[in-house]
Amino acid sequence: MLISKALNLKEKAFISLVGAGGKSTLFNRLAEELVLKKKRMILTTTTHMFTWQLTPFIKKGNSIEFNDEKIIEDNIKEYFHHNKIGEIVLIHHRIIEEEGEKVSGPAPLYLDKWWKEKLADYFLIEADGARRRPIKAPASHEPVIPESTTDLIGVIGIEAIGLSLEEKNVFRPHIFSQLTGIKFGEKISLNAITTLIFHPQGLFKNAPLHSKCHLFINKVDNEIREKLAEELVTQILRYNKKRIDDIIIGATHQVTNPVIEVIKRVK
């Protein structure tokens, strides 16, 4: 199943991604799917993302790079005036870090403004950073989710289960410890991940009240991980009330069928 089908997106959607464990790959796979819908789409970030994530979507004239949102807005309008469909990549500025070149995008308030003005049909935003860890806990300034978000995707890498709580496995381990009660060196349990998902300062922190919350359990690519995912889902359903609209189990790095199963909340 395609990711866009699993999300059951409307004809217009503002999609923000948070969490860790394959979020960048999910961003790219979903962008590839949405491109095929032949609509107007904006791709960017409210934090920092690697340049290579956006490179596949850059074509002649569709990359708008300015550190002035008014100029960016004028260029968006100009592009869609001449191109009724297509994707636009928005870059505010570039940053060189140890891991490689990253880019930042326009301020969230401008993305909200452009959504209200219907400048594009789809907005796809990476709203969180995780430095390639399978799981993370958000700092006080994270995540940066635009208020217009209609669909918020929280990503968890299934391989985090059983790993020890330390810097190499968890982004912001000290905060993860505070939220879940797991001590440094202890194994990350199903209970710890469930706590992170439902904690007010956890995975879906800063979620707009009106947005749908989709939990994506990622990297489920063998029988052992499928069993772990099933156990995690059982645990989540025990606690879930209205917080999560659906749980998607998949492996976004797989070329075909990135989604294995979708479990919807019973209303």
> Which residues lie closer than 8 Å to 159 by C-beta, 6 or more apart?
21, 134, 219, 225
**How confident is the model over 47-59, as a mean pLDDT?**
93
> How many Å from the N-terminal Cα to the C-terminal Cα in the chain?
23
Q: Write out pLDDT tens, residues 197-251.
A: 999 999 999 999 999 999 999 999 999 999 999 999 999 998 876 789 999 999 9
Continuous segment of H or E residues that includes residue 22: none
Q: Which residue has the higher pLDDT, 131 or 138?
A: 138
CATH of the domain at 102: 3.40.50.300
The four Cα atoms 159, 162, 167, 173 give a dihedral, to 10 degrees, of 100
Lowest mean pLDDT among 94-98, 153-157, 195-199, 217-221: 94-98
User: So what's the pLDDT on residue 241?
Assistant: 66
DSSP 55: G
pLDDT band at 255 (very low <50, low <70, confident <90, very high): confident
Domain coverage including residue 114: 3-264
Type of residue at 36: L
Residue 267 reports pLDDT greater than 70: no
Write down the pTM of the prediction: 0.96
Whole-number Å distance between alpha carbons of 41 and 90: 11
Please state the domain count of the chain. Answer: 1
User: So what's the pLDDT on residue 98?
Assistant: 77
